[in-house]
Chains A and B, each alone.
Chain A
Amino acid sequence: MFKILEKQMLNPVIAKMVIEAPRVAKAALPGQFLIVRDGEKGERIPLTISDSDPANGTVTVVIQLIGASTHRMVEDYNVGDCYADVVGPLGNPSDFVNMSPEELGAQRYVFIAGGLGTAPVYPQAKWLHDRGVAVDVIIGARTKDLLIYTEELGGACDNLYLCTDDGSVGFRGVGTAKLEQLVNEEGRKYTRCVAIGPMIMMKFAALTCGKLGIPVVVSMNSLMVDGTGMCGACRVSVGGETKFSCVDGPEFDGSLVDWDEAMRRSRQYKPEETAAMEKK
């Protein structure tokens, strides 16, 4: 059993949970994810790790209220309650974790984050920023109230750019437009972009980066059951080869991902999910 130590609604549809999971906290590295199952009858839900504290044995995840399971995981669980299962860390850490100091020193990173994907950008940006690597972060949302992790990210990068569709704060427009502006108008140079967010956002980030000539890494949030390579539900075509997001990823070269297939595959259980929501 894994105790919930903190719960906070970051916006009306995204909750942050700090969970006691000492083994996961000790082993987690930036880029990895975990799987939570709320109770005996729950689904196994993959969630990207947004922070880990090995000393206190805690991990932080953010959960977006999308389907019946995520609603239940947030609405029915409060501080002091326990999730039945928290397993991880899963997937490979971000590639920069294995870079030499020389390699790292030569990098200039830009992150593009959208929605729920903003939270897992935090441990990555922080890891790089702590090591003196140049990091800019662009986060986007429909409107000001939906932006999350602005404070945390503010302290984990050189420049934080907020973008909103309605212009209620920061740049009016999407994150990729901000990136184009930074590169084309302000002459920023980036050696690498990491895009984490909804698949449609990552698809356009990959296209924009292609245009700008910036290598782009994306974090695939595919459907999965076990997270250890057993089920193959998370199959994704990367450069014409079938990969498993859980064990080969979750991070891939965004320019090689078959986005239309990935988006279609992520909707595979939509009818079942809709039925479950209606039953709720």
Chain B
Amino acid sequence: MANKIPRVPVREQDPKVRAHNFEEVSYGYNKEEAMLEASRCLHCKKPLCVTGCPVNIRIPDFIEQVAGGDFDAAAAVIAMDSSLPAVCGRVCPQETQCEGKCILGVKGEPVAIGKLERFVADWQHGDQNTGAAPDGFSACSGAPIAAPNGHKVAVIGSGPAGLACASDLAKWGYQVHIFEALHKAGGVLAYGIPEFRLPKDKVLQKEIDAVKALGVTIETDVIVGRTVNIDELFDKEGYEAVFVGTGAGLPRFMGIPGENLSGVFSANEFLTRNNLMKAFRDDYMTPIHAGRKACVVGGGNVAMDAARTALRLGADTTIVYRRSEAELPARQEEVHHAKEEGIHFELLTNPVEILGDENGWVRGMKCIRMELGEPDASGRRSPVPVPGSEFIVECDTVIMSLGTSPNPLIAKTTPGLERTRKGGLVADESGATTREGIFAGGDAVTGAATVILAMGAGRKAASAIDAYIKGK
């Protein structure tokens, strides 16, 4: 029986070694490992994994191709539903999506769907580690491209939503131009997710190049709402529809005393300096301050990324989170990796004040112990302070990782575009906003969520844009 084979472990960099470098943690499967792992799939008649995937990748079909050693065919199956497999294979929360639904997971371990997806994508990209041919075509360009149809669409933001929307439209013959505010394409994949989880040149750049190979053009250094506004894109630059995939880029702070002391950073600033601006490399000019002892406040994936980055830059690093381990919003894999690398956790703990020295630099954080009370609106038990339990954590750097919210710039500069109370753009299931011809998706609509949901929203909006333009 296929299911007697245990889940094939993935090779990883030694935690002691990787705590000092920015190389990717996971080496991924090689050909033999991938084929063996693929052979574990039961090929359920009603595959629950597919329903667990936000974009419904035909998982058993691609796994069957992997098991048979036809990786190009596997890539073609994935490409029908996903534009960014090398990214999603690495950063998707598979344990709550596809793998969370896998029947094998009921009694044992689910099929390593994420690792297999990554293998297929890396194989396509000609990754040395997987032993693929270096001239492999991209998974992204696997689908045929239609003849140009003469219609122009603008995509704002080159993150997962924008890239997915752009690549679908380009495949259908649209002339697609992406506007990116930063100097490099990729959005959160470029500025937010660290090199050790998502290598930039080896993986991300190849996914972006694949989108460009479809004929999509990317113009960096354009802030829509400042450099140019959406009405000008319609009226002066001839675009017939606009997709807004501007993400959720605004950092939250706690509003506690001492938050503006020197040495208190948002995770966004800290990660952008290191990921986009490559502060970890000596040959880049970017300054960064991790300090000797860093505290990261928050428990999501971004908090793990910031903590593991601070650790690699030489700081003794602690995660401070107000609920318990079970409620950590970060992926299990990231928490596990963080612990292996030596990150400390102060759980059920919340900062109440940041303390400064005579020069206005952080010298510590006054925290209070928490206990879990009644469930709140999110269904999670809400943390309640334990009276009199205050204590001081010494540190010289504090990184606030409390989540992000959508940037209001586009809504503010585009008449007729409405926002929800939480700041996201109002959009229906298809991505249509309150203004004709403008579509939106991803974190810009939902607030901070996942890469795969953003990609899915981008693709849905692409279909809606296609229908809109054809119906005009």
Chain A interface residues (CB < 8 Å from chain B): 23-24, 27, 37, 41-44, 68-69, 72, 84-90, 225-226, 228-233, 235, 237, 242, 247, 261, 264-265, 267-269, 272-273, 276
A68 — nearest CB in chain B belongs to which residue?
Answer: B285
Chain B residues 96-115 with CB under 8 Å of chain A are none
Q: How far is the CA of A225 from the CA of B184 in the complex (A)?
A: 13
Is residue B269 within 8 Å, beta carbon to beta carbon, of the partner chain? yes
A-side contacts of B286, CB under 8 Å = 43
- Report whether A261 and B251 are in contact in the complex, using a CB–CB cutoff of 8 Å: no
> When chains A and B are docked, how far (Å) is the Cα of A27 from the Cα of B289?
35
Closest chain B residue to A236 by CB distance?
B260
Name, among A228, A237, A261, A272, the residue most crowded by chain B CB atoms within 10 Å (CB to CB): A228
In this assembly, does B253 line the interface, its C-beta being within 8 Å of a C-beta of chain A? yes
CA distance A43 to B277 in the complex (A): 7
Evaluate contact between B183 and A37: CB separation under 8 angstroms.
Answer: yes
Interchain CB contact (< 8 A) of A231 among B226, B255, B272, B287: B272
The 8 listed contacts between A and B (C-beta, < 8 Å) are A41-B285, A87-B222, A89-B226, A230-B251, A242-B260, A264-B262, A268-B262, A268-B263
CA distance A230 to B407 in the complex (A): 8
Give the docked Cα–Cα distance between A89 and B32 (Å). 53
Chain A residues within an 8 Å CB radius of B221: 85-87
Interface centre among B181, B251, B286 (most CB of A within 10 A): B286
Say yes or no: A268-B260 contact (C-beta < 8 A), given A88-B227, A230-B272. no
Judged by a CB distance under 8 angstroms, whether B83 is at the interface is no
Residues on B lying within 8 angstroms of A by beta carbon are: 181-183, 191, 220-223, 226-228, 249-251, 253, 255, 259-260, 262-263, 265-266, 268-269, 272-273, 277-278, 283-289, 359-360, 407, 409
Closest Cβ–Cβ distance, residue A69 to chain B (whole Å) = 5
Question: Of the candidates B228, B260, B263, B287, which one forms a contact with A261 in the assembled complex, judged by CB atoms under 8 Å apart?
Answer: B260
Q: Which residues of A contact B359 (CB under 8 A)?
A: 264
CB distance from B222 to the nearest CB of A (A): 6
Chain A residues contacting B269 (CB-CB under 8 Å) are 225, 230-233
- B226 contacts A44, C-beta separation under 8 Å: no
Per DSSP, chain A at the interface is mixed
Which one of A41, A84, A86, A232 lies within 8 Å of B284 (CB-CB)?
A: A41
CA distance A42 to B286 in the complex (A): 7
A44 touches B277 (CB 8 A): yes
Q: Which of B263, B278, B289 contacts A272 (CB 8 A)?
A: B289
A44/B183 in contact, CB under 8 A: yes
B356 CB to closest chain A CB (Å) equals 9
Nearest CB of chain B from residue A2's CB, rounded to whole Å: 8
Q: A23-B228, A235-B260, A264-B360 are in contact. Are A229 and B287 (CB under 8 A)?
A: no
A41 touches B272 (CB 8 A): no
- Write out the residue numbers on chain B whose beta carbons fall within 8 Å of the beta carbon of A88: 223, 226-227
For residue A228, which residues in chain B have a CB less than 8 angstroms away from its CB? 181, 223, 249, 407, 409
Contact B287 A230 (CB under 8 A): no
A87 to B219, CA, bound (A): 11
In the complex, besides A231-B266, A261-B360, 18 extra interface pairs with C-beta distance below 8 angstroms are A23-B222, A23-B228, A27-B227, A68-B285, A86-B221, A226-B182, A228-B249, A230-B249, A230-B250, A230-B251, A232-B253, A232-B265, A233-B266, A235-B260, A242-B255, A247-B409, A267-B262, A269-B289
What is the minimal beta-carbon distance from B423 to any residue of chain A, in angstroms?
12
Do A226 and B262 touch across chains, with their CB atoms under 8 A apart?
Answer: no
Most buried by B among A23, A72, A237, A242: A23
How far is B278's CA from A63's CA once the two chains are assembled, in angstroms? 24
B409 proximity list for chain A (CB < 8 A): 228-229, 247
Cα separation A33 to B110 with both chains bound (whole Å) = 53
Closest to B249 in A: A230
Q: Is the CB of B262 within 8 A of A84?
A: no
When the two chains form the complex, which single residue of B181, B227, B255, B283 contacts A23, counting CB atoms closer than 8 Å?
B227
Q: Which residues of B contact A247 (CB under 8 A)?
A: 409
